[in-house]
Amino acid sequence: MQLHISPSMRSITISSSNEFIDLMKIKVAARHISYRTLFHTILILAFLLPFVFILTAVVTLEGVNKCSSIDCLGRRIGPRLLGRVDDSERLARDFYKILNEVSTQEIPDGLKLPYSFSQLVSDMKNNHYDAKTFALVLRAMMEKFERDMRESKFAELMNKHFAASSIPKGIHCLSLRLTDEYSSNAHARRQLPSPEFLPVLSDNAYHHFILSTDNILAASVVVSSAVQSSSKPEKIVFHIITDKKTYAGMHSWFALNSVAPAIVEVKGVHQFDWLTRENVPVLEAVESHNGVRNYYHGNHVAGANLTETTPRTFASKLQSRSPKYISLLNHLRIYIPELFPNLEKVVFLDDDIVVQGDLTPLWDIDLGGKVNGAVETCRGEDEWVMSKRLRNYFNFSHPLIAKHLDPEECAWAYGMNVFDLQAWRKTNIRETYHSWLRENLKSNLTMWKLGTLPPALIAFKGHVHIIDSSWHMLGLGYQNMTNIDNVKKAAVIHYNGQSKPWLEIGFEHLRPFWTKYVNYSNDFIKNCHILE
């Protein structure tokens, strides 16, 4: 930018650097100008020109330097100098105002809504919508889509609940075929373990695992993974407890599929003399209580206000209504000291876990006089899985719960627990467990809903020794965003939740950690079409 003063001092020209465009030209008559006036003019221009330069630079940096004329530049700079708002900004502001207006209006009954965005655009052209009508139709469309998505999500959760509560055809077939084999094949009925190994069942020099399940395929994975991952498989003894209907099939599987050098014992609940109605009266009441049966087997939607319930909350409520929570097999863990009176230390495993690391060091952990070695579930990377405190399991509006429990106390996990049975036998854990179950039945299940963990959280209070979280990783049955690297490093991974790896609703990317221990070459598995 240059300033030219003519020799006659009758004109002052401001031009661009390429001299092709004159930005400003001032002509003056000689008789009306003085040096003082000229000095003042130059002084004013000296103040104005830096501002003009800066504004021009800003416009250039904003990408409007394609203007080829002063007129174009003026249209760009003018509104800024005069404080005017660009048309697009004004339109946006007006539209926000209209949206705020229609957000509080009632949507007319019978308003015909487009089924897609393209249909909305077409209706606007054909019906000549004004901005307010367009905003109202848009709001009605979005609210309808939100309702439809919400209903679909709840329907999906219900279907998932039914799928999780059912027995897959292949697993049912496996149980039937193995039961038939038990009746027709003497080898399938052979004693487990062999007579020479019977003393080992009560020998505390061995590492005793306890597994309570009616799922033969799941049991085979737990046992195989533990044996294959162990540095001392010859020290492993598995005590598998199952129900009467599954006993023959479970016995057949382990009689026909040896996991030597490990030892396996299979017992049905009907074979324990201690498990009488006199010793487990509360569980008898739980299974026969009409309110309990209706809660776990009834209509899970009736009485639920879905408009005020989030999908995640609804999913948690459905999970707590799994029929397995009133199964005797699920409550048996509280009777381990009585069922195995000669054992001193055991590791209890759920049937939806996979052992990936050597569990031998668990027997070297000093529980410090505590009964239960467990992983706590209120701290960890996964804020969904590892955020469980007592408030997540109990109804603290109930006076008994509020009086005896702290809602912020950290919870711990079932699924992989080290139990010191000698210390346990010196406590009243079983009696405490029974008394709280009775109180919950009296209150019509208003103290807690979710199965066996809540009464255990109360009964084991003060008797839990926290072990390192690397021993037990949870959430693979409901958290599909599980960190794969963490899964690979965990000693035990737990598919707690609805998406079990043997179900079609299991997470595909997490299933291989389980299926690698399934013997797909086994004739029974092949004949039942349990495919990899």
Question: What is the percent of the chain where pLDDT is above 70?
Answer: 76
Task: Specify the higher pLDDT residue, 203 or 316.
Answer: 203
Strands 416-420 and 22-27: unpaired
Q: What is the percent of the chain with per-residue pLDDT over 90, rounded to a whole number?
A: 50
Name residue 171's amino acid: I
Q: DSSP H helical segments within 166-215, as ranges? A: 169-184
Whether the per-residue pLDDT at 129 is higher than 90: the answer is no
Among 92-96, 287-291, 469-473, name the most confident range.
Answer: 469-473
Q: What is the pLDDT of residue 328?
A: 81
* Mean pLDDT, residues 503-523 taken together: 94
- pLDDT 10s digits, 326-378: 678 888 999 999 999 999 999 999 999 999 999 999 999 999 999 999 999 99
Q: Token pair of 409, please?
A: 């106390």
pLDDT at 489 over 90: yes
The answer on 400 and 309 residing in a single domain is: yes
pTM of the entire structure? 0.73
CATH, residue 373: 3.90.550.10
CB 479 within 8 A of CB 497: yes
Question: Within this chain, do residues 523 and 413 fall inside the same structural domain, yes or no?
Answer: yes
Answer yes or no: do 217 and 271 share one domain: yes
182/314 same-domain check: yes
Average pLDDT of the segment spanning 180-196: 96
Residue type, 336: I
490 in a structural domain: yes
Contacts (Cβ under 8 Å, ≥6 apart) of 514:
221, 354, 495, 501, 502
- 146 and 293 part of one domain: no
Same domain, 438 and 415: yes
Question: Is the CB of residue 469 less than 8 Å from the CB of residue 336?
Answer: no
Q: Is residue 323 part of a domain?
A: yes
Helix (H) or strand (E) holding 163: helix 131-165
The pLDDT of residue 178 is 97
Q: Are residues 152 and 189 part of one domain? A: no
Measured CA to CA, the distance from residue 198 to residue 175 in angstroms comes to 26
Output 5 or 178, whichever has higher pLDDT. Answer: 178
pLDDT at 47 over 70: no
Residues 368, 392 within the same domain: yes
Looking at the domain assignment, is residue 95 inside a domain?
A: no
Closest by CA to 495, choosing from 283, 217, 158, 155, is 217
Average pLDDT of the segment spanning 46-52: 68
- Of 136, 165, 194, the last residue of a domain is 165
| Per-residue pLDDT band at 3 (split at 50, 70, 90) | low
Give residue 126's pLDDT band: very low, low, confident or very high (50, 70, 90).
confident
Domain C-terminal end among 165, 185, 204: 165
Query: Is 425 found in the same domain as 354?
Result: yes
Please report the pLDDT score of residue 319 as a whole number: 63
Lowest mean pLDDT among 303-312, 441-450, 496-505: 303-312
Buried b vs exposed e over 300-322: b needs ≥16 C-beta within 10 Å?
Answer: beeeeeeeeeeeeebbebbbbbb
pLDDT for res 20: 47
Mean predicted lDDT score pLDDT of the chain: 83
Round to whole Å and give the CA distance between 423 and 369: 6
Q: Are residues 121 and 269 in the same domain?
A: no
User: What total number of domains does the chain contain?
Assistant: 2
* Closest C-alpha among 365, 228, 259, 229 to residue 240: 259
pLDDT of residue 292 exceeding 70, the answer is no
Q: How far apart are CA 116 and CA 104, in angstroms?
A: 24
372/487 same-domain check:
yes
Range of the domain at 419: 169-528
What pLDDT was estimated at residue 44?
78
